[in-house]
Amino acid sequence: KAGVTQTPRYLIKTRGQQVTLSCSPISGHRSVSWYQQTPGQGLQFLFEYFSETQRNKGNFPGRFSGRQFSNSRSEMNVSTLELGDSALYLCASSSATSNEQFFGPGTRLTVL
């Protein structure tokens, strides 16, 4: 079974731009969670989607948003990018019957 995939793997943007990251969960997994990892703040939870509905949200500004499609693929969007948004963005998927979260390789976002 293929793992969680994320695209793109690397991204360079400038301040003020917006960015969209994509995540395809493991086949059959309907829950997708997003995390931000930075050297200063570590791994922080952004939000979680299940069956196209956002169920949980972390403490991030409204510039960070996401959505999930009917095939369980998910996207997250960051608008009006700031230098501090430079991070590794990780998504994880889990099945409806298990709490195990399996992570993708991440998207490395650099904001200049």
Partner 1 sequence: SQQGEEDPQALSIQEGENATMNCSYKTSINNLQWYRQNSGRGLVHLILIRSNEREKHSGRLRVTLDTSKKSSSLLITASRAADTASYFCGAGSARQLTFGSGTQLTVLP
Taking CB under 8 A as the criterion, the residue among 22, 50, 65, 79 binding partner 1 is 50
Interface map 13-32 toward partner 1 (x if CB under 8 A): ------------------x-
Report the site for partner 1 in 56-95 (rule: CB under 8 A).
56, 58, 88, 90, 92, 94
Residue 105 sits in the site that holds partner 1 (CB under 8 A): yes
The alpha carbon of residue 52 and the mean position of all alpha carbons in its chain are separated, in whole angstroms, by 14
Q: Which is nearer to partner 1, 65 or 103 (CB)?
A: 103
Torsion angle (degrees, nearest 10) of CA 84, 86, 87, 92: 100
Distances (CA, A) of 30 to 16, 44, 47, 48, 101: 32, 21, 14, 10, 11
Q: Which is nearer to partner 1, 57 or 63 (CB)?
A: 57
Taking CB under 8 A as the criterion, the residue among 7, 14, 27, 43 binding partner 1 is 43
Q: Which is nearer to partner 1, 45 or 75 (CB)?
A: 45
φ, ψ (nearest 5 deg) of residue 31? -105, 130
- The rounded distance, in Å, linking the Cα atoms of 30 and 32 is 7
